[in-house]
Every structure is written in structure tokens, then in C-alpha cells.
Structure 1
Amino acid sequence: MSAANELPPLTGARMALGSLGIGLAGFMTVLDSSIANVAIPTISGNLGVSIDEGTWVITVFAAANSVAIPLTGWLTQRFGQVRLFVASILLFVFASFLCGIAPSLPLLLAARALQGAVAGPLIPLSQSLLLSSWPKAKAAFALSLFSMIVVTGPIVGPSLGGWVTDSYSWSWIFFINVPVGLLSAGVVWTLYRKRETPSRKLPIDTIGLALLVLWVGALQIMLDKGKDLDWFSSTTIVVLTVVAVVAFALFVVWELTDKNPIVDLTLFKQRNFLGGTVAISIAYGIFFGTLVLLPQWMQEYLGYRALDSGLATAPIGIFAVIGAPIMGRLLPKTDARVIGTLAFVGFAVVYYMRTYFYVGIDEWHIILPTLLQGIPMALFFAPLTTLILAGQPPEKVPAAAGLSTFARVFGGGVGTSVANVLWNNRTILHHQVLTEQASANNPVFTGQLEHYHSLLGLGRDAGYALFDVTVQSQAAMMALNDIFYGAAIAMLVIIPLIWITKPARGGSGMSAAAH
């Protein structure tokens, strides 16, 4: 056992201040994964590029971040978790400053790539540092507090990004990280520098690293650009897919046979890690994919502003924040699998409520299921993380947290792409079916055209155009209902994944990981 793990947990104000410092770094990281989304049109206009080119601001961050996250275990053993954590924060601050002053798109993309890469270790190490400094009996409470960061960051990001961009300048969505990051780094270094884990020189798995960069980068770009390039009708998308598949296969074989792999894939041999990681990845993919669709639908078909649509989805964080400390007290006394099951059932109920959305729905009926979704969110992250990390030896915690975080973030990216593709395809299908009813022999259709003519004074062509707009709005609504229905079913289907794991309670099952 390392010296860091032999130290007693922090207490009182030091524990609270340490948790705040770690939490600020984690929140800053999660926030930056989504804060730039609503600012892309503004950034593109200011830098003189198209919006399609501007979306690379999101893509390069996600790709660099996805590559860096699973390297956390190897980097921790090489440099020590406290040094790595503080260095990552300071580099993140530097990269954020470069993003804010970037005068052109290529320089902004380079800074965003650096920002995404150095952010990779922050979320996994946040979990690891919290577990090492809280009493083992309160490990579940620590994870519950951390869950607030994970679930509220993507929700606050679009709203905060829209407000900052409209009120000040897009540069400030990056500059805001500078004081927050410096405060976090100062607090963590002051309180944790004497709790450093031992480091040792490890050979660099250059082939494994190259294959990781290749398959993750190719897959991330393929997912992000597939819709714009019409998916597999594009040679670019086909080539990227082939590269991703081949590189991934070679990566798995190499990492399982190399003496010093860059990513420890043997973690998947453990039932708890396998079941918990697959379940949290699929669930987060569903959650994040539907979360992205809602603001798009509200802006495109209900006429909401970017800021208003962000605020309409923000209430999801209310019960998530309120429920986190309650979850922390409940989890040590309860089987984590039971709570995880309740979370998935809660998600299914919320998604089923949304299948009753309709064109012209008022804001309150949009907000209600969003508000209630905060309840399963509070029950979701901490129990599954408990299952994933239960029984892990201390030296394996950073690697396990890093690999599971990578799978979750990757699941979110896949979920976003899949949700957008399904919505587009189902909208086209429903539009085609509805349009088939537009016949001169259909009295409903002819009556609607008469209505347009008599009340609005529209001619035949204008009436057809308005009818098509109405049909498109209905088709998009029906497609969104289809996705919510599928999401509800999927949440119930993945419940058995939780039950292939061994029982774990927040206080006892996490003892090895906590100390």
C-alpha cells in the first residue's frame, strides 16, 4: 500500500475545501464539453468561416478528450495522481486562455485540441482523489456529490454559453476557466501535495497509443460529420469507418498481449466493471442523445431562442442536486443494484411521458418531465460508479475510473449521433406518410386549403407551401415521440446488465477503492 493510501482521510474544513477544489476542476471540464455548442454560429461569424467549419470546435475537443481519458491509469503511474491532476488543471487554464485570444479558426482548433487532451485525466482523477481523502464509510456520499458535477455540467453549459455569448463575447466562455482553474489548482496542491501516490518509470506503449489515437479519432470524426456528409454514401465516411474498425481490432489485440499496455483492458474481465461500465455507457448515451434533441426541436419548431431552450432543460438539475446528499446517505445502507434499477425505471417513465408531446405544447408540459428526470439522475451515477469501482485495489482505481469515464463519454457521443440520425430518418418517414394524404380526393386536405384561402388570402401555391410546413412540424413531432418511446424501452432492457454484478454497498463495497 502506498504512502498516500496509508494517510488518514481529510477531516472538517480541509475535507470540504479539498472537495470544493476537486469539484471545481471536474465541473469546469464537464462544462467545457457543451458550453461552446450554442456559440458556434457566433464564433463562425466572427472568424469568417461557415457553421459547418465552426462545428470542428466541438469535434476536436471531443476527439482529443476521448483519446486522453483512457490514458489516465498509465499517466498516473508515471507521474503520480496529484502532480498529474494539478498539471492538467494548469494546462487546461493555459489552453482556455489560448482559445479566448485565438484570432483564426486553425489556432482556435489547435487550442481546443490541447484543451480536450489535458482535460482527459481530470474527471477520473477527481473520483480517485475524492475516494482517497474521504472516510471509506462516506465514499458513497463523496461519489454522490461528484455525480452532481457530471449531470449538471452538460445542462448548465448551453444556458451559460448562450448567456455569456449574447451578453459579452464568445471569448469569455473560455476566459471564465482561468480564475476557476487557478483557484482549483491552488487548493488541490495546498491540501494534497503530501498525499501523492508513488510514480515509476514505465515504457511508453507507442503502438498502442498510435492505434488508440487512430481509431478514436477516425470514429469521432465519422460520428460528428456523418450527417453532414450523408453517411455511407460519402467515400470519406466509408474510409473513416474502415480505419476505425481495423485500428480498433488491432488495438484490442495489442493491448491484451503487450506487457505494459497503455490501456488496461483486462479490467473488463471483472463482472462488476463490465456490467457497470456497459450499463452506464448505454444509459448516458440515451440521456445525452435525447438531451441534445430537445433544444434543437424547441428552437427549430417551437421558435425558442437558444437561451430559452437551454433554460427549459435546466430544471433537470434541481432534483439531481437535491437528491445527491440524500443518495450519499442512502447508498451505504442499500444494494447499489436496487438503486440503479430504480434509476432506469425512472428514466423510462420520464421518456414515456414525453411520448405525449404535441405541436403547440406549452412550456410547462415540456419542463415537467425534465424536472422529474432529475430524480433518476440523482439515483444514477453514484450507484453505478460504486459497482464499477467496488473491490478495485487502490493502484487500479485511476485506470478503472479512466476507462469507465471514457466508455461513458464515448457512449454520449454515439448516443448524440444516433439520436440525430433516427430523428432525421423518422421525420422523413412520417412526412412521406402524411403527405400521401394530400390528395384532391381527401376532404380534410381540400378543406384546409380552403381555410388558408378564405382566412389568410393565400393562393394555391402558398397554401401548399404552408401545408408542407405544417406537415413537417407534425412529422418531426411524431419522430421525436418515436425516439422517446424507444428510449423508454431501452432503459428497461439494460437493467439486467446491473444484475450480472456482485452486490455492492457504498460504504463497504468501496473500501478497497477508498483506501
Structure 2
Amino acid sequence: MDGKAEALAPLTGARLILAGIVLALTNFMVVLDTTIANVSVPHIAGSLGISGSQGTWIITSYAVAEAVSVPLTGWLAGRFGTVRTFTFGMIGFGVFSTLCGMSSTLGMIVACRIGQGLCGGPLMPLSQTLLMRIFKPEQRVQAMAIWSMTTVVAPILGPILGGTISDGWSWHWIFFINIPVAAFCAFGAVRLLARVETPTDRLRVDRVGLMLMLLWIGALQIMLDLGREHDWFADPTIIALAIIAAIGFVVFLVWEGTENQPIVDLRVFRHRGFTVAVMSLSFAFGTFFASAVLIPQWLQTSMGYTATYAGYATAFTGVAAVIMSPIVAKLSSRVDQRALVCFGILWLGFVSLLRVHWNSQADFWTLALPQMLQGLGMPFFFIPLTSLALASVEPQETASAAGVMSFLRTMAAAIATSISTTMWDNSSRVARSEITSQLNSDGTVDAMTAQGFSLDQVRIVVAQVVDKEAYALATNHIFLLSAFVFMASAMIIWMTPRPSRAVAPGAAH
């Protein structure tokens, strides 16, 4: 009995500090990998000889794999032990990072990103769980604050680091840099965290639910990624994928609703507050993440930005978010959280409207300022919305609700990225056709020919101008639509009842 109590006792001294660093660094690395590739997509696409839209599969494949693995975290920890699962997840993350960096084809890098996401998905909740075990109760609030800061800071450094590495070295190194971190964290977990290992049991897993989830999510994501290149529903393959996704999703809902130990606990959706909060979160976060993918692509493919400067322009979002996070945390205990969420999402919509006026002549600060303003609203959106959702369910359902919320948020990011990339490309084609018709009708070609340009020179110049303006117009259209999505997401939050209880820090671990 004494030995067991000692094993479960929080760590102290240098051992505690080192263990905290290992867990914080793990969370930092996993979150960093969600954004570090955003600005590197043009580099990767050019190196592998693929289109920019195919390059976004590198982002969506990681997000989908991460979303799928998160609901399995509780079962893995209970079956194999929290520390053991954490250690093997970290080793797998390092191995697949190595393989990502060594990839020479689109299929290989997508497959390795899926492996990276499957291994990395459980690491974030497990790092939070272990922090709560190694720190004393009175130290946990400060520990979670440090953990949360890594979640906020990593997206800031992701685009900057990704751009700098891609331009200065090679895109391969955005994956290779994970290797020493993964090795250090895996070694640290073995040496420092063994004494806080959790008991294991031969838990059953909802195999049918897991297979159904993999089926419909896989079919849906492949359909969204391949649809544009296969002319959507004119292709029998896309039709088949759509049918599989639809039927698989319905069967998944029926099965999970009747299963005693479901892989995804859908019963939490009986709480209206949770359902509405998660809907608002999914739509708003998906729209936000899609813009974080599209902007670097536009800056590099059309505006002549290097990956480094595209990273600088997009990273300003995180700077303002870091400043506002502690302020919003204090306001959350004094102001109606629904009002804070509504303001935060409406602010994101306002920033999207500012971007509608972007054009091909915009300078760096015209592009960077909306990113900074967006960061001011992000904490108003994330912090209170998470509290609203988790406070709407029963205390014993908090962990399940947090897993469902994380799953849907990550899936929304992947789906929104695929949809917005397709819409952006289609919109640029329409704009290109309209601009070309206008140039032909107003005598531009004849005027340039009269000035001594050859016909081939005229065609090159016109093509460059048309492409640049077409992508600018397409970007404007995406942000106009984004503004409407943000506004709708902000309004539906008022359907959430005021929560009757507060959620303690780390309650969802």
C-alpha cells in the first residue's frame, strides 16, 4: 500500500522540472506540426512535381489521422498504460517524421503524415494527463498555464520556422527537426515518468465503431481531396466515395448510439449547450484554419513572397493571441461567456471583411495587419467556448465531451481546408475567364502590339497579369464567404443556455 502511494506521489525537485519540460516540449512539437507545413506547401509541391491543391493533402491527411486517433487515447492509456502509450507515441512520431522528410512521392509523404498524425494525436491529451499526475494539486493551475502557452506559442513559430527552414535549407528539414526532440522526450519519459505509470487492464475496444469511423471519414476526405481533379460527380469513383461516406456515417451514428462503450460517445450531444457550442466551434475553427492554409499559398504562388516572409505575415495572429489570452481568462469569470464568444467570432468575421479588399498590389503591412487584428479575437473565441461546451455536460462526461470536441474541431479543419482549396481554385478559373474576356474586348492586346510587343510577349504579359488578378479575386471571394460563416457561428452561440457550473483547469484530462 505504501509503495503504491509513493508511486502515485507527485514528483519533486529537478525531476519534476525536467518532466514538466518533456511534457511541455511534446505538446509544443505536436501543435507546431499542425502549422509548420502550411507555408511549405509550394516548396513541397514543386519538389514532388504535384499541384498546389494536391500539396494541401499533406496538411489534411495529418489532421484527419490526428482526429481519428484522439478518441482512442483513453482506451490506449487504459490498456497499455499512460506513460507507455506516451513513449511509443513519441517514438512513432519521430520515426514517421523521419520518413516524411525522406519522402520522394506524394503517396509516400501522405502515408507518412497519416502515421505521424496517428502517433501524435494522443500525445496532446496524454501530456496534459501526465502533467496533472506529476504536479501537486496546488501547482496544477500554474502547470496547465505553462502547458497552454505552448499550445498558443507553437502556431506562431510554426509558419516562421517552416518558411525559414524551407527557404534556407530544404522543406525536408521541417520534419527532420522533430527527430532530436522526439528522441529527447521519449528518453525523458522512460527515465522520469515511469513511477507515475497508470494501472492497465484488458479493456475492450469498440472495433466495429472504429472500423465504421475509419470508413466514412476516409471516404469523405478522399472524395473532397480528389473531387476537383475528377470533375466531382461526373466521375463514378467520386459518386462511389460519396455513397460510402454517407451510408458509413449513418451506420456509424446508429451503432455508436446503441453501443455501451462507444469509440465516440455521442450521448453528450443530448445536452443542447454542448451541441450548439461544438457546432459553433467547428464552423468557426474550420473557417479560420482554412484561411491559415490559403493565405501562405496565395502569397507565394501569386504575390511573389518567399516562404519565410509568408510565415512572418501569417504569424502575427499568434502574437496578439498571446497578449490577449490572460485578459480573456480573467474576463471569463466575470462576463457572460456567450457574449465573449459572440464578440470573438464576430471579430474574426470583421477581419475577414478587411481582407475582402486585398489586391495584387497590397504591401506587407496591409496583409499582416489583419492577421494581428485576428489574433486579438482568437482568445475570446477559444477559451470561453471550450468552457461553455464542457460545462454543459455532466461532470463524469467531461473527458468524453472533450474528446468529441477535439475530434470534431480537427475534422472541421481538414474538411474546410479541402473545400476552401477547391473553391479557391474554381473561383480563380472563373475570374481568369472574365478578366481575359475583358482584356480582349477593350483593345489591350492591340494596344500592346502597336507599342512594339510581339504576340508571344503580349501573351506572356497578359497571362501573368490575368493569373495574378484572378487569384486575388478568388481570395477575396473566399474571405467574403468566410465572413458570413463567422457571423452565423457567432449568432448560434446564443442558443446555448448559461452554464450552471464552472470547469476547473485540466478537468478534461
Please give the TM-score of this superposition, normalised by the length of structure 2.
Answer: 0.84
Q: 1:171 to 1:10 in 2, by over 3 A?
A: same
Q: 1:137 to 1:208 in 2, by over 3 A?
A: same
Which aligned pairs between 1:16-415 and structure 2 lie closer than 5 A?
A: 20-39=21-40, 50=50, 57-58=58-59, 60-100=61-101, 110-128=111-129, 148-150=149-151, 152-154=153-155, 156-185=157-186, 199-390=200-391, 396-415=397-416
SS of corresponding position for 1:333: coil
User: What percent of counterpart residues are identical?
Assistant: 39
Range with greater deviation from structure 2 (415-424 or 153-162): 153-162
Q: Shift of residue 73 of structure 1? A: 3.4
Mapped contact 1:144–1:381 kept (Cα < 8 A): no
Q: Shift of residue 474 of structure 1? A: 2.9
Structure 1 spans left out of the alignment, 5+ residues: none
Amino acid at match of 2:297: Q
Q: Shift of residue 105 of structure 1? A: 6.7
Q: 1:512 to 1:326 in 2, by over 3 A?
A: closer
Q: 1:384 to 1:154 in 2, by over 3 A?
A: same
Amino acid at match of 1:509: V
Cross-structure match for 1:490? 485
Distance 1:393 1:125 in 2: 22
Mapped contact 2:42–2:301 kept (Cα < 8 A): no
Cross-structure match for 1:452? 448
Mapped contact 1:41–1:54 kept (Cα < 8 A): yes
Q: Shift of residue 71 of structure 1? A: 2.1
Q: Shift of residue 408 of structure 1? A: 0.8
Amino acid at match of 1:382: I
SS of corresponding position for 1:33: helix
Range with greater deviation from structure 2 (268-277 or 315-324): 268-277
Cross-structure match for 1:476? 471
Amino acid at match of 2:338: R
Range with greater deviation from structure 2 (203-212 or 143-152): 143-152
Cα displacement string for residues 432-467 of structure 1 (whole angstroms, at most 9, x for unaligned residues)? 444444465xxxx23x44653465x22456446534
Which one of the candidate residues 500, 504, 508 is aligned to 1:510? 504
Q: 1:74 to 1:62 in 2, by over 3 A?
A: same
Q: Shift of residue 407 of structure 1? A: 0.7
Cross-structure match for 1:499? 494
Distance 2:187 2:120 in 1: 17
Q: 1:183 to 1:395 in 2, by over 3 A?
A: farther
Please give the TM-score of this superposition, normalised by the length of structure 1.
Answer: 0.83
Q: Shift of residue 411 of structure 1? A: 0.7
Q: 1:304 to 1:187 in 2, by over 3 A?
A: same
What is the aligned residue count?
A: 504
Distance 1:466 1:119 in 2: 46
Q: Shift of residue 265 of structure 1? A: 1.3
Distance 2:12 2:156 in 1: 31
Q: Shift of residue 348 of structure 1? A: 1.5
Q: Shift of residue 252 of structure 1? A: 1.0
Cα displacement string for residues 362-390 of structure 1 (whole angstroms, at most 9, x for unaligned residues)? 11111111111111123222222222222
Q: C-alpha root-mean-square deviation of aligned residues, in Å?
A: 3.7
Q: Shift of residue 121 of structure 1? A: 1.3
Q: Shift of residue 350 of structure 1? A: 0.9
Amino acid at match of 1:475: A
Structure 2 spans left out of the alignment, 5+ residues: none
Amino acid at match of 2:502: S
Mapped contact 2:343–2:490 kept (Cα < 8 A): no
Q: 1:60 to 1:361 in 2, by over 3 A?
A: closer
Amino acid at match of 1:510: A
Distance 1:196 1:85 in 2: 10
Mapped contact 2:87–2:189 kept (Cα < 8 A): yes
Cα displacement string for residues 196-218 of structure 1 (whole angstroms, at most 9, x for unaligned residues)? 55544322222111111111111
Cα displacement string for residues 44-100 of structure 1 (whole angstroms, at most 9, x for unaligned residues)? 777x76568876654543443232122223334434544433432233223323444
Mapped contact 1:390–1:513 kept (Cα < 8 A): no
